[in-house]
Amino acid sequence: MSELPNEKMILEVFKDACKKLDIDNPENKMKNVVIYIMTDGTRTASSLDGKEAYIDGSNFSKRFVHIVKTVGGKACYINVFEEFHQNRKDYENIYSALINVVPDWKDFVVKNSIRLKFLGNFESSFGQGEDLRKYLKMLEDMTKKNEFTAYILINFSREWALENKEFFKDMPNINSVIRFTKGQGIPESMLIPEKVEHESLVYVQQGSSSINWSDRQIIFLIALALRANIRNMPYFLQSSYAEDDKKRIRRQREEERVFINEDLYDKKDSKKPKVAMIFSEVGPERYTF
C-alpha cells in the first residue's frame, strides 16, 4: 500500500490553503460539504498504459478520500465507471485494475476507518474471470460500522438509478462537484436521483492521475471546493437579495466583470502546477496551485 500523508501535515497545509483563499474556520465548514469527484483523464495525463493507468486513478481516489476525511468532511462520492463502459475496447483493463486494487483498498479502509458503499447494477456479473461483486460485498460488510463514507459508483447507469431511488434515500446530498479535464459538470448518465442539490462546480484542467498530483495539490483542490461552496451557498438558499447585495453583484458582474486569476503554486512542489476554475456569485475564479 502506498504511503499516505499524516494527519498533522494535511491539517497544516489545509489551514494554510484556506488562509490564502480567505476561508475562516475551515474544519467546521467542511462538515457541510459533500463532494462528488468525476475522475477522468487517467489515460491521457500520464505515460501509463492499460490497467496501470486505472490503478493510478484508483490511487488518486484513495488519497482524496483520506484527505477529505482528515479535514472534516462527512462523506464523498466517486465515479468509477458506467454500465456502457462494458462496450469499450479497453474494458478488460478497467475490470482487471479493479480486481488488482482490492487488497490495497482493504488495507486502506481498515487503517483509516473508512466505510465503503458501492452504487451500481450488481444483479449479474459484469466482468470475465473473478467476480468483483464478492469483493465489493466484503468491503461493504467489513466497513459498515465506520462513520465517514465513500460512495463509489461502479457499473452505474441512470436507468438503474431511476429504478432504485429508494436505495439512495438515506445518503447525503451532494453540494460540490469536481470534474477533471471536462467543464461539463455531472453527465446525465452519472447523475444520482435527487441527491444533487445546490452544487458548486470545480473544473480541473488536469487528469486525476495520482503520480501527477502532490499531497499539497489535492489538499488545495479540496480547499477550492470549500471556497466555491461558501461563496455560492448563501445565494442558493435565499429567495430575494438585499438591496445593497443586488447593487454589489450587479456592479461586479455587469460593470467590473470580475475575474479572479491567482497563482498560488509553490515552486518547491514536486509536481507540475495544476489549474482549477471555480465560480462565485459574481464570476469565475482561476487558480494555479
pLDDT in tens, 94-127: 999 999 999 999 999 999 999 999 999 999 999 9
Residue-wise pLDDT for 18-74, tens only, equals: 999 999 999 999 999 999 999 999 888 988 988 999 999 999 999 999 999 999 999
Mean pLDDT (whole number) for 136-151 = 97
Instruction: Assess whether pLDDT exceeds 90 at residue 187.
Output: no
pLDDT in the model for residue 240: 66
Residue 239, pLDDT score: 64
Structure confidence by residue, pLDDT tens digits, 155-180: 999 999 999 999 999 999 999 999 99
Under 8 Å between Cβ of 47 and 190: no
The domain segmentation of the chain, as residue ranges, is 7-288
Question: 190 CB contacts (<8 Å, ≥6 apart)?
Answer: 38, 79, 82, 153, 156, 158
Residue 213: the pLDDT is 98
DSSP secondary structure, 133-153, as one string:
HHHHHHHHHHHTT-SEEEEEE
The whole-number average pLDDT for the span 210-218 is: 98
Residue with cell 465513500: 150
Place of cell 514536486: 270
State the pLDDT at residue 2.
59
Q: Which of 128-142, 186-200, 264-278 is the least confident region?
A: 186-200
The pLDDT, as a whole number, for residue 84 is 87
Read off the C-alpha cell for 145. Answer: 460500522
What is the rounded average pLDDT for all residues in the chain? 94
Q: Identify which has the larger pLDDT, 13 or 234.
A: 13
Res 237 pLDDT > 90: no
pLDDT at 86 over 70: yes
Give me the pLDDT at residue 43, please: 81
Q: Which of 115, 218, 224 is nearest to 171 (CA)?
A: 115
Q: If you write DSSP's letter for every residue of 17-84 in order, what string do you get? A: HHHHTT--SHHHHGGG--EEEE---HHHHSS--HHHHHHHHHHHHHHHHHHHHHTT--EEEEEEEEGG
Q: What is the CA radius of gyration of the chain?
A: 19
Give the residue carrying C-alpha cell 467542511: 30
The pLDDT confidence band at residue 3, using thresholds 50, 70 and 90, is confident
pLDDT tier at 134, thresholds 50, 70, 90: very high
Whether 226 has a pLDDT exceeding 70, the answer reads yes
pLDDT of res. 236: 75
For residues 183 and 30, the model is more confident at 30
Which cell goes with 95? Answer: 475490470
Task: State the Cα–Cα distance between residues 108 and 101, nearest whole angstrom.
Answer: 11
Q: What is the pLDDT of residue 11?
A: 97
Q: Does domain 7-288 have CATH number 3.40.50.800?
A: no
